[in-house]
Amino acid sequence: MMKSAIVLAAGKGTRMKSIHNKVMHPVANKPMIGHIISALKKCDIENIMVIVGHGAESVKEYLQDEVQYALQSEQLGTGHALMQARAFEHFDGDTIILCGDGPLIQPETIQKAFEANQDHALTVLTAQLKDGENYGRIVRNKEGYVEKIVEAKDCNEEEKKIKEINTGIFCFKNKLLFEGLNEITNKNAQQEYYLTDLVEIFRKKQYSVNAMVVEDPQETMGVNDRVDLAKAQQWMKRFINHKHMMQGVSIIDPENTYIDADVEIGKDTIIYPNVHIQGKTKIGEHVLILPNSFLCNAHIEDGVTIDSSKIVDSYVGAHTVVGPMSHLRNHAHVEENVRIGNFVEFKNANFGKGSKCAHLTYIGDSDIGERVNVGCGVVTVNYDGKKKHRTIVGNDAFIGSNCNLVAPVTIGENALLAAGSTITDNVDNGDMGIARARQVNKEGYGTKWKKK
């Protein structure tokens, strides 16, 4: 059976009180619409269409050619949004309809919806809440069949008490969907074309209407304001952390650990509280991430220790130790068995196997070889006020403490730089560079000065 999906994302999202389109608001650092498309992509769906309108450009720029688009230039309701999807009209098979403001939906539920609709014209996904809030109410007849959906604003007193609600997710026999759309009107409290009216229309035509109650009502919550957004964040955080824990990652305090949806983490990794792991970060096995670390698009190999450090767009090789308080950024590439210690910054720099840089150092635009020792307080002087230049250091070199390496400069293998030198000229393999004034000792001057 051919599977298609239509996601409604044209609405303004007035209740968000934002200049941004509602579906572009992030949950776990990823726009809501992104979560929905990721879930759909895991379900072997042939055709995915997103209905755009308000802020269409931002949605298209984000999703690019991952999906097809239809424009709803005036937002006259969810039914009207669907009418813009006529390009799908001729498709056979089933089509799932999702709202762009329901970011927590999981692929398993989408699959179940298709399965549930096999022998029906329409399956509406419903949820049981303690209070129906502003959701559309599911009205069932005496036999228990779904009769219609009534929007909260159109409910009478009896209907308001109904606790079974419309999640906004429907699975339709595609051809019947487009046939039914011709019959929707806007005669209701909001003067909108409601997609939800299709239930009653189908019932009148005696098409088979099914309902599937979702297990966790939070998974299908709609985000309409900032309070909902915070609730969705909480749910997503718990969901992601639970998934990693089930796969063998120890999270000491899951309530205070923030991991984005697309992060990968190997087993026996331990994550301490107040750690943020974002973007497409990939972490190996047996990694130790101590409190207050921040990783974004980082690639961390097995056995690494990260202590209160920030690593962005950078690579860290196996068994390397980073921190406390270090910052790797802009394509820092640090090989295995390295030690990067307290208050060290690496930017766009390569650091070879077994090298050490333990304290108070800036390494920028550099290629540092293997087994190099970088002393405390070393600075690569990479910027002359106009351009950036590279510093190159060969294997087994020893950079004494408090050296400045004024780039462009090359230090050979096994070279030695004397502490406190400002190095402006290249140093050949095996040579020593020393660039500082010679010391003068003045006999007895210390005592004389104290007596003054």
Residue among 57, 39, 25 nearest 48 (CA): 39
The least distance separating Mg ion from the CB of residue 228, rounded to whole angstroms, comes to 8
Q: Which residue intervals of 27-166 are DSSP H helices?
A: 32-41, 56-63, 78-83, 107-116, 157-160
Residue bearing tokens 């309070």 = 227
H or E element at residue 393: strand 391-393
Query: Does 200 help bind ligand UD1 (rule: CB under 6 A)?
Result: no
Tell me: does residue 151 bind Mg ion (CB under 5 A). no
Judged by CB under 6 A, how many residues of this single chain contact ligand UD1? 31
List C-alpha distances in Å: 446 to 40, 437, 438, 439.
78, 20, 19, 15
- Asked if 101 is part of the footprint of Mg ion (rule: CB under 5 A), the reply reads yes
**Is residue 166 close enough to count as binding ligand UD1 by CB under 6 A?**
yes
Q: How far is the CB of 222 from Mg ion (least distance, A)?
A: 4
* Under rule CB under 5 A, residue 180 binds Mg ion: no
Q: With CB cut-offs between 5 and 8 Å by kind, which of ligand UD1, Mg ion, none does residue 380 bind?
A: none
Give 131-166 as a DSSP string. S-TTSPEEEE-TTS-EEEEE-GGG--HHHHT--EEE
Q: At what angle do helices 56-63 and 32-41 cross, to 10 degrees?
A: 40
* Angstrom distances, CA of residue 74 to CA of 16, 53, 70, 352: 19, 7, 12, 58
* Smallest separation (angstroms) from Mg ion to the CB of 15: 8
Contact in structure between 220 and 214 (CB atoms under 8 Å): yes
Contact between residue 20 and residue 29 where contact means Cβ atoms under 8 Å apart: no
Query: 2 to each of 44, 58, 107, 180, how far by Cα in Å?
Result: 9, 30, 17, 20
Separation in Å, CA 13 to CA 20, 49, 232? 9, 20, 16
User: How far apart are the C-alpha atoms of 226 and 17, rounded to whole Å?
Assistant: 9
Q: By CB under 6 A, is residue 11 in contact with ligand UD1?
A: yes
| 193 vs 346 by CB, closer to ligand UD1 | 193
Out of 224, 241, 269, 391, the residue judged to bind Mg ion by CB under 5 A: 224
Instruction: Report in angstroms how near the CB of residue 387 gets to ligand UD1 at its nearest.
Output: 48
Q: What is the C-alpha end-to-end distance of the chain, expressed in Å?
A: 98
Q: What is the amino acid identity at position 182?
A: N
Q: How far is the CB of 367 from Mg ion (least distance, A)?
A: 53
Q: Which of the listed partners (ligand UD1, Mg ion, none) does 43 bind, with a CB threshold of 5 to 8 Å by partner kind?
A: none
Residue from 117, 174, 224, 269 binding ligand UD1 (CB under 6 A): 224
Q: Which does 100 bind (CB under 5 to 8 A by kind): Mg ion, ligand UD1, none?
A: ligand UD1
Nearer to Mg ion, 9 or 198 (CB): 9
Handedness of CA 240, 243, 247, 248 (dihedral sign): positive
Is 120 annotated as catalytic? Answer: no
Q: How many chain residues interact with Mg ion (CB under 5 A)?
A: 3
Residue 289 interacting entry, from Mg ion, ligand UD1, none, C-beta within 5 to 8 Å by type: none
With contacts defined by CB under 5 A, name the span among 45-53, 113-121, 216-224, 232-240 that binds Mg ion.
Answer: 216-224
Binding mask 26-55 for ligand UD1 (x = CB under 6 A): -------------------------x----
Judged by beta carbon, residue 229 or residue 277, the one nearer Mg ion is 229
Q: How far is the CB of 99 from Mg ion (least distance, A)?
A: 6
Window 57-116: residues binding ligand UD1 (CB under 6 A): 72, 75-78, 80-81, 99-102
Catalytic residue annotation: 359
Interface residues toward ligand UD1, by CB under 6 A: 8-11, 22-23, 51, 72, 75-78, 80-81, 99-102, 135-136, 149, 151, 165-168, 194-196, 222, 224
Interface residues toward Mg ion, by CB under 5 A: 101, 222, 224
